[in-house]
Amino acid sequence: MRQLSFIFLMVGAFILTSCGAVSVSTDYDRTANFNTYKTYSFHQKGLDKLKVNDLDKRRLISAIEQEMSNKGFIKVDSDADLVVNVLTSSSQEVYINNDRFGGYGYGYWGGMYPTVSDYTSGKIILDIVDDKRNILVWQGIGNGLNVDNVSAKSEKIPQAVNEILKKFPPQPKK
């Protein structure tokens, strides 16, 4: 019985941790030569309109700067090869967990019962524009960031940006 309880505990922990994962999708211009891009800047009007608090805005900018630097891109104030525009949105989501089991009671196993919870799901969209041609060359979208846990955002936002920018710049298919 102790082993069965341990298994349920491990499954529950897995389910809870998997709920925090960010789902990422990317798209890019297959005709763009990403090897020619060396510098970037931020779209200031986009940053000014960003609908997040100042702490989260700084977290986003810092995480993007770190990831771009890790990839060899240099941030400049003007005449950049690429312009990064950041967009965010959020929505209320409902999470239904049908994998919960009832407890012991009067000598029997209680059976399954669902639990329902709601949370605010955040979305981060990174648009990367070729500044010379003024066209979108890459876009990354991260969905499902749980923004209700305020204390975890300092870790979750950089992790989400890292996941989004993992496939930037795209590697040509061989």
Q: Which residues contact 150 (CB under 8 A, 6 or more apart)?
A: none
CB 36 within 8 A of CB 169: no
Q: Is 1 helix (H, G, I), strand (E, B) or coil?
A: coil
Q: Is 107 helix (H, G, I), strand (E, B) or coil?
A: coil
Q: Is 14 helix (H, G, I), strand (E, B) or coil?
A: helix
Sketch the domain layout of the chain as residue ranges.
22-165
d(CA 31, CA 16): 41
Tokens of 38: 């060396």
pLDDT in tens, 21-71: 789 999 999 999 999 999 999 999 999 998 888 999 999 999 999 999 999
Domain 22-165 has CATH 3.90.470.20: no
pTM surpassing 0.85? no
